[in-house]
Chain A
Amino acid sequence: MSELRYTSDHEWIRVDGDVATVGISAFAQEQLGDVVFVELPDIGKKLAKGAEAATVESVKAASEVYAPVGGEVVEVNGALVDDPALVNGDPTGEGWFIKLRLSNPSELDGLMDEAGYKAFVAARG
């Protein structure tokens, strides 16, 4: 399974076996503007669904990135520390934040698929 699923806080998650990659959506990075700083969690940190996983700061403001589902941090994207603009340039690819080993895969069920998220964003305006 490689399709993206989304939260209402504009994170995306892509599941590969029992590990999932997490980042922020193209819409979220556009709303933030130029990203200038990313703070990532320690590897091994256990996150509950909805817990603060990372911090992302644009020129204007700081925002939190929340864990879309619960799990243990098994990898972080260190490239973002030196080049935070990756989040703007490739939010759902090279701009990923963390990889989580899922603690409860059933939590994925409540997330939006691509079409659902698109409708969610459109309804915001």
Chain B
Amino acid sequence: MDAARDNSLRRTPLHGLHEELGARMVPFAGWSMPVQYPTGIIAEHNHTRSGVSLFDVSHMGQVSLRGGDAAAALERLVPGDIMGLAPGRMRYTQLTNEAGGIIDDLMVTRAGDHLSLVINASRSDVDLAHLRARLPGVEVEVRDHALLALQGPAAAAALARLAPGAAALGFMSAASFDLDGCPATVTRSGYTGEDGFEISVPAAGAERIARALLAVEGVRPAGLGARDSLRLEAGLCLYGNDIDETTTPVEAGLAWTIGKRRRAGGGFAGADTILRQLAEGAPRRLAGLLPEGRAPARAHAEIRDSSGSPVGTVTSGGFGPTAGGPVAMGYVAGAAAEPGTALAIMVRDRAVPARVTRLPFVPHRYVKKT
């Protein structure tokens, strides 16, 4: 059934706007979401790298934690440094299980008197049950807000037209602004590898702000298709593809998200496994792979070493418009994950040569100031 008319799917406050803009709506994690607009995924991808695009990411879950000592309590569930988070600062971390696997990856912002979380739509039910069971004394509240992502090198100039102070925001920082009469929480963050912002607004004001942003010269809408190709080139993990309950943060190349204090003190779910892997290395690692030729290697394709033995599986793969060819990520055992290693990926029963490369495929261009 057409996702735009499927009443079993949830709709964001921008659903009508997407249809008006000619978006193709698809089911995604229980939501009807725009995968692309008439310009197409490659044009939307390229415009995000060269200009600025507006994405509706309202399917993401927004949760606030209040009361108790929320930061200390949350630190038992994530390996990230939450207690050290200064007001107005945000951090990327993971909810881990006792085996060190990843229940979800999330953003945590210290917002005045509470912590504000952004979680994956596909994991929100699991996450909420987990948080409520494991954070006694902490009030876990789902916020019915829309979330817009304004991404690209021209994002700061575009947002400054509505909120002159937004351009001064440092990377991974948050602040409140009045956008065209609507109260909004803006963070300098994103999922494209480019400079940009995520804008949380009450559902009632979402369409007004989206229209105001789209009215700024150069701002164009982009869908989930471009969001996926942008994040893949940026080497950013997608929950359910690259990370899940069987992969640890160390295997996924996320050791950088675990600070010194947490490494020394432990005290989070799965710490035994994660700290051991930090010290001794993980048995497999998420590697960047550049397949030869033009054929995209996609998720679930088998990775083989030069002798033809299986060494891993592709978790995300496709065509990288900025990379100019196919790019892939996948878990590779031991030494085979070293950059420069010659491997092969099975694409339609043919072994396509692929070289292990450092992630990201396209360098991040986040704003330097913090």
Contacts and interface: CB of A to CB of B under 8 A. Distances in A.
Interface of A: 33-34, 36-37, 39, 55, 57-60, 62, 81, 84, 88, 125
A34 B321 CA distance: 10
B40 A37 contact: no
Interface residues of B, number: 18
Interface string B293-316: 011101000000000000000000
Contact of A59 (B295, B318, B348): B318
Contacts of B321: 59
Contacts of A39: 295, 348
A59 B298 contact: no
Contacts of A33: 36, 40-41, 225
Interface of B: 2, 35-36, 40-43, 225, 229, 294-296, 298, 318-319, 321, 326, 348
Contacts of B296: 36-37, 57, 62
Contact of A60 (B2, B225, B295): B225
Contacts of B43: 34
Contacts of A60: 35, 41, 225, 318
Contacts of B298: 62
Contacts, number: 41
Contacts of A88: 40
Dominant secondary structure at the B interface: mixed
A59 B348 CA distance: 17
Given A33-B41, A57-B319, 19 more contacts: A33-B40, A33-B225, A34-B42, A36-B42, A36-B296, A36-B319, A37-B294, A37-B295, A37-B296, A37-B319, A37-B326, A39-B348, A58-B41, A59-B41, A59-B225, A59-B229, A59-B319, A62-B296, A88-B40
A58 B108 CA distance: 35
Given A36-B319, A59-B318, A60-B35, A125 B348 contact: no
Closest 6 A/B residue pairs (Cβ) = A36-B319, A34-B42, A59-B41, A34-B40, A37-B294, A37-B295
Given A36-B296, A37-B295, A55 B41 contact: no
Contacts of B2: 125
Nearest to B40: A34
Contact of A55 (B36, B326, B348): B348
Given A33-B40, A34-B40, A57 B295 contact: yes
Given A60-B225, A125-B2, A36 B35 contact: no
A39 B293 CA distance: 11
A64 B76 CA distance: 49
A84 B350 CA distance: 20
A51 to B, nearest CB: 15
8 contacts: A37-B294, A57-B295, A57-B319, A59-B229, A59-B319, A59-B321, A60-B318, A62-B296
A34 B37 CA distance: 12
Most chain B CB inside 10 Å of its own CB: which residue of A33, A37, A60: A60
Contacts of A34: 40-43
Contacts of B36: 33
B209 to A, nearest CB: 28
A37 to B, nearest CB: 5
Most chain B CB inside 10 Å of its own CB: which residue of A57, A59, A60, A81: A59
A60 B298 CA distance: 10
Contacts of B41: 33-34, 58-60
A123 to B, nearest CB: 13
B294 A36 contact: yes
A5 to B, nearest CB: 27
A65 B298 CA distance: 19
A84 B324 CA distance: 13
Contacts of A55: 348
B37 to A, nearest CB: 11
A59 B41 CA distance: 7
A27 B35 CA distance: 17
A111 B225 CA distance: 34
Contacts of B42: 34, 36, 59
A67 to B, nearest CB: 17
A60 B321 CA distance: 12
B43 to A, nearest CB: 8
A61 to B, nearest CB: 8
Most chain A CB inside 10 Å of its own CB: which residue of B36, B40, B229: B40
B3 to A, nearest CB: 12
Contacts of B229: 59
